[in-house]
Structure 1
Amino acid sequence: MQQIRASVAREFDQVNHLIIQQLQSNVPLVENVGHYIVDAGGKRMRPLLALLTARALGTCSSAHITFAAVIEFIHTATLLHDDVVDVSQLRRGRPTANSAFGNASSVLVGDFLYTRAFQLMVQLDNLDILRHMADTTNTIAEGEVLQLARAGNADTTEQDYIDIITRKTAVLFAAACYGAAVLGGSDRAQAERLSSFGLHLGLAFQMVDDMLDYAGDAATMGKNVGDDLREGKVTLPLIHILRTGNADEQALVRRAITERSAEEMEAISAAVERCAAMEHTRKRAREHHDLAVAALAGLPPGPALVALQQLTRLSIERDH
């Protein structure tokens, strides 16, 4: 990631500085919770996407710095709300904000971050971006509700799954690229191509993330293995077992989903391996990786384009 950030290192530091600055509040708890989750780090992939897209198109302006901070605030707000809904205990290797400060504080500070993001967007004075980000944020909320409605439902199809992760994850990746292109003066066609790049990158990233819930370990991932099962989330590896596994394996997975239990994790991991669920999931992620790379065609050669290509490859090769 350090190598990928190199072409926008100065701008990336400016985004981090702006994020810290915009966390300031007259209410100490807002700053405490905000700093707790922001200081935990993370890949900052979404704001990085905005900066790299801007640089690949020619220039990275102060407006791009502000927009990248907007993207990160919206993402951070979703994390705060997600962890409350999912009753998560661990994120990025330490207790979640809801574990440390309580559910009410996490939800309300998440609201603060959403509204701070829109305050920053108003400063951009760009109605197209404001409209697009309003639609994106609404779609993310719909995705959260859709995932909640589907939790514990073993009849969830692969298309249902794609719909959920498109709304929950991929649309914000797409918005980061679209907004950066618009701020950089791109025409509609180019902005849409870059939005498509972000969308497919986001889908590939989430598929690998879901795969790691059955292949990683807590120390590497920074979260508890099996969390998806405990939350009743029906992800692609499980859908593949339900479609191709033998009767015992299907019954095992169906029971784990409906009971929202990871007690039989060892047996499920064995089924994941026997049914080649990892290979199937990575194959689907690779398909979206290839579509993302194809959408970059036409961008001028340079370090930022190379970094975007590397980031796309990293999305499917990572182990956390």
Structure 2
Amino acid sequence: MNQSLAQKPHEQLAATLSGEMDAVNELIRTRMASKHAPRIPEVTAHLVEAGGKRLRPMLTLAAAKLCGYDGVHHLKLAATVEFIHTATLLHDDVVDESGQRRGRPTANLLWDNKSSVLVGDYLFSRSFQLMVETGSLRVLDILANASATIAEGEVLQMTAAQDLNTGEDIYLQVVRGKTAALFSAATEVGGVIAGADEAQVKALFTYGDALGIAFQIADDLLDYQGDAKATGKNVGDDFRERKLTLPVIKAVAQATQEERDFWKRTIEKGRQKDGDLEHAMALMGKYDTLTATRNDAYGWATKAKDALRVLPDHPIRQMLHDLADYVVERLN
């Protein structure tokens, strides 16, 4: 991809879809209103207005447009996807006891855990109302399955996060739950609502799935080699939080008994001391797991781009192609 592009791919998508995104944002504001519980729009607005990229709803709009859709149901589906995403963020911040998201205090910190959980529940309910309004059982099936996968992924992560027996297969399952399930549902429902043929719907699913996995692997890698200013995270946060991500899983798989004891003490038991992060980095360097992880991220990005081949030739297709490149270009 041309690095000198004035706009990043998600910015190009946002500009192309700006009219529809305005309509989606209006729909979000309307549907998060509550006559009886003013705390609901207060908490939701804090997150929804936080200035995220709105990537997931944009993927739904892009997929529908790419497949020639000219109705209005894709707006409801895009709002649905954003509601599901926001609900999971509210719940995640409670589970993770987070104090910050996108550089701002989290809802559970500003209000309380109860408000975050209950407002998250409300948004899930709203998302199902919106889905039903499209009149498509297949869309309902896709998004309901995605919601179940997300919840399942969260529970799996909770039990697998500090277990050294967690292998790459479990990690991938967690990533599908945490990130890729909503990406793939977002793109797939766009194709379904547009009446695209089965090969195209499958391609859109594959694109979203692979893009989400590449995105999460890149994120996990940046934790160990990113620029704190650019990522908003300190290098090694995942290690300090005892998260078994791919670079560590790859190092544990090749570890000597002594090295395994180190990982057991720092990750499983959480008994960390000065110099442990540096030693962890040295072990990842010994087995070159950061390079192996980067190669995995690039592999998934390539899979995403390959999936687009069966879709119509359209400027949006090129933007989606560039987006897959951009997700892993952060690793350079």
TM-score normalised to the size of structure 1? 0.93
Aligned to 1:221: 231
Cα distance change of structure 1 residues 180 and 276 upon mapping to structure 2, 3 Å threshold? same
In structure 2, the residue matched to 1:50 is 60
Unaligned runs of 5+ in 2: 1-9
Offset at residue 181 of structure 1 (A): 0.4
The answer on whether the counterparts of 2:84 and 2:123 sit within 8 Å (CA) in structure 1 is: yes
Contact kept in structure 1, 2:153 and 2:177, CA below 8 Å: yes
**Corresponding residue for 1:232?**
242
Q: Does 1:164 align with 2:174?
A: yes
Q: Answer whether contact 1:93 1:221 (CA < 8 A) is retained.
A: no
Matches within 5 A, 1:262-277: 264-277=276-289
Matching residue within 4, 8, 11 for 1:2: 11
Whether 1:145 and 2:155 are equivalent positions in the alignment is yes
Distance 2:70 2:164 in 1: 46
1:184 aligns with 2:194: yes
- Where do 1:231-270 residues align within 5 Å? 231-244=241-254, 249-260=259-270, 264-270=276-282
Distance in 1 of aligned mates of 2:68 and 2:95: 41
- Bigger shift: 31-40 or 184-193? 184-193
Offset of residue 225 of structure 1: 4.5
Q: TM-score, normalised by structure 2?
A: 0.89
Aligned residues: 320
Q: Is the CA contact (8 Å cut-off) linking 1:51 and 1:68 kept in structure 2?
A: yes
Change (3 A) 1:278 1:61: farther
Q: 2:203–2:310: 8 Å Cα contact kept in structure 1?
A: no
Q: How far 1:177 sits from its partner (Å)?
A: 1.1
1:301 to 2:318 alignment: no
Alignment of 1:34-113 (within 5 A): 34-113=44-123
Q: Work out the percentage of aligned pairs sharing the same amino acid.
A: 44
The one-character-per-residue Cα deviations of 1:22-55 (angstroms, maximum 9, x if unpaired) are: 2211212111110111111222111111111112
Give the match for residue 6 of structure 2: none
- 2:5 maps to which residue? none
1:21 to 16, 26, 30: 30
Instruction: Verify: 1:314 aligned to 2:323, yes or no.
Output: no
Q: Does the CA contact (< 8 Å) of 2:13 and 2:58 recur in 1? A: no
Matched, 1:289 2:263: no
CA distance in structure 2 between the aligned counterparts of 1:310 and 1:130, rounded to whole angstroms:
29
Q: Letter of the aligned partner of 1:301 in structure 2? A: D
Gaps of 5+ in 1: none
Q: Alpha carbons of 1:60 and 1:219: their partners in 2 closer, same or farther (altered >3 Å)? A: farther
**RMSD, matched Cα:** 2.1
Query: Is the CA contact (8 Å cut-off) linking 1:146 and 1:164 kept in structure 2?
Result: yes
The answer to whether the Cα contact below 8 Å between 1:230 and 1:261 also exists between their aligned partners in 2 is no
- Is the Cα contact below 8 Å between 2:187 and 2:204 reproduced in 1? yes
